[in-house]
Amino acid sequence: MGEEITLNITRYNPDKDGKYTTQRYSIPYKNDWSILDALNYVKAELDGSLTYRWSCRMAVCGSCGMMVNGTPRLTCSTYLNEFYPKEITIEPLANFPVIRDLVVDINDFMAKLKSAKPWIIRKNKRDEDDTSKEYLQTTGQMDKYYQQTLCINCTLCYAACPVYGLHPDFLGPAVIALGHRYNKDSRDEGKADRREVLASEHGVWKCTVVGDCTEVCPKHVDPSAAIQRTKVDSAINWFFSFLTGRK
């Protein structure tokens, strides 16, 4: 009999009894298994009803975010050997409504994503579809926004943000970081178009700089820095528009 490890996994089935509970599973311990491997084992061998999202298993699609011992993690790149021999608690991502077991509803995030206008905006609309030649952009210019392009939309930052948990109307770290990404892209001219949403009371100004979003981000996007920088931009813009009377 090989080594074993215990997983405490959240179960919730609105079709059955609608009870939000924890179920214990004992599985063989393999030194090179990720939490996702463990979940796949449970589903294949022990309990086919266990429900969770996953796809790429290489930390680039953003599907497999869950709470592992209370911290939002990507389960495909979190390994059992980090916790063994202790038990591991796996819960759905915090701050989102739970659809079933470990699957949460991220439609709020999807709607907010659109509201930040995350696309290249040009004053001359014809620029956007002109394929005769590329916009010129140096590596130096790209450095200014590249870090925030790395977001895989895994929403771990939303699960880590207590503000989002307490005030679900908060735009949230990933969305603001994405708005910032476009604001800082030298090819974009849409800063003013995004201002209303980003600088609203549900936008950057709801952030109280807890900083956990940056801590949990698996792609080092540093959304907290993006938010604070957007605050600075927004404040400077307000100050000047106040002085000059222009928007």
Partner 1 sequence: MAHSMNSISGKTEATKTYRRDIPNTWWLKKGSYFLFILREISSVFVALYAIFLLIQLCALSGGQERYESTAAVFKSGWMIILHVVIWVFVMYNMVTWFRISGRIFGAKPLSPVLVTISNYIIWLIVSIGIIFLLLKG
Partner 2 sequence: MDVINHDILIVGGGGAGLRAAIEISKSNPSLKTAVVSKVYPMRSHTVAAEGGSAAVLKEDDNHDLHAYDTVKGSDFLADQDAVEVFVRDATREVVQIERWGCPWNREEDGRIATRWFGGMSRKRTLHAADKTGFHLLHALFQTSLKYDTLMRYDEWFVAALLVDEGKLGGVLALDTRRGVFSILAAKAVILCTGGVGRMYAFTSNAGIKTGDGAALAYRAGAPIKDMEFIQFHPSGLLRTGILITEASRGEGGYLYNKDGKRFMENYAPSKMELAPRDIVSRSIIEEILAGRGFEGPYGSYVQLDLRHLGEAKIMEKLPMVRELCLDFAGMDPVYEPIPIRPTMHYTMGGVHTDKDGKTPIAGLYAAGEGGCVSIHGANRLGSNSLTELLVFGARAGRSAAEYVPISKPCSSERLQSLAKREMDIIQKRYMQPGNGKEKAGAILADLRKTMDEKVGIYRTDDGLKDAVQIIQRLKERFTRIRITQQSKVFNTELTGAMELDNMLEIAHVIAMNARIRKESRGGHARKDFPKRDDEQFLHHSLVFKTPEGPKRETFPVTITKWKPEERKY
Positions in the binding site for partner 1 (CB under 8 A): 12, 14-15, 18, 20, 70, 94-95, 97-99, 105, 143-144, 162, 165-166, 208-212, 214-215, 222, 224-225, 228-229, 232
Q: What's the rounded Cα separation, in Å, for the pair 173 and 161?
A: 8
Residue among 168, 161, 182 at smallest CA distance from 224? 161
Question: Does a cis peptide bond (omega within 30 degrees of 0) precede residue 85?
Answer: yes
**Identity of the residue, 163 or 230, whose beta carbon is nearer to partner 2 in the bound complex:** 230
Can you state the angle between helices 173-183 and 191-198, rounded to 10 degrees? 160
Can you state the angle between helices 139-146 and 173-183, rounded to 10 degrees? 160
Q: What's the rounded Cα separation, in Å, for the pair 73 and 237?
A: 36
Structure tokens at 19: 């009870």
Query: Computed from CA positions of residues 16, 18, 24, 29, in that sequence, does the dihedral angle turn out positive or negative?
Result: positive
Candidate ranges 39-47, 65-73, 224-232, 233-241; the one touching partner 2 (CB under 8 A): 39-47
- Choose, by CB under 8 A, the member of 21, 49, 97, 201 that binds partner 2: 49
Candidate ranges 3-11, 65-73, 121-129, 195-203; the one touching partner 2 (CB under 8 A): 121-129
- Choose, by CB under 8 A, the member of 23, 29, 30, 43 that binds partner 2: 43
- Choose, by CB under 8 A, the member of 127, 169, 196, 201 that binds partner 2: 127
Specify whether the CB–CB gap between 140 and 175 falls below 8 A.
no
Candidate ranges 183-191, 193-201, 227-235, 239-247; the one touching partner 2 (CB under 8 A): 183-191
Enumerate binding residues for partner 2 (CB under 8 A): 13-16, 32, 43-45, 48-49, 51, 53-63, 77, 99-101, 103, 106-107, 110, 113-114, 117-120, 127-139, 141-142, 145-146, 149-153, 178, 182, 185, 187-188
